[in-house]
Amino acid sequence: MAKKIPEFKSEEEEARFWDEHDSTEFLEDFEPVDISVSPELEEEILNKRELKKPVTLRLAPYQIDAVKKIAYKKGLPYQTLIRMWIKERIKAEM
């Protein structure tokens, strides 16, 4: 049986929920949407798309908690924040 998306009291509560859940668990709650993009935009998007490879990092629990708190304040998923930090540091080192 599919799970139901709960009602949220705030955007922050909703952001926390989606940080901790996979949207594929709630497919029956979503409605399909038809969109169209110009061929130029589609080509630009496809050309800029970078494939990501998973990597495993061993971090102390307090480090993960700290990143999650910072990401929450910024309204970002914590994995996205980690990727942003790594990208910024690589750019600074180059």
Range 19-26 average pLDDT? 84
Residue-level pLDDT at 49:
75
pTM summary value? 0.49
User: Does residue 1 have a pLDDT over 70?
Assistant: no
User: Does residue 12 have a pLDDT over 70?
Assistant: yes
CA atoms of 8 and 57, how far apart (whole Å): 32
Q: Computed from CA positions of residues 65, 21, 7, 80, in that sequence, does the dihedral angle turn out positive or negative?
A: positive
User: What digits encode the pLDDT tens for the residues 44-91?
Assistant: 888 877 777 889 999 999 999 999 999 999 888 999 999 999 999 999
- Spatial contact of 81 and 70, defined as CB atoms under 8 Å apart: yes
The gap between the terminal CA atoms of the chain, to the nearest Å, is: 50
Q: Which structure tokens are listed for 51? A: 């494939």
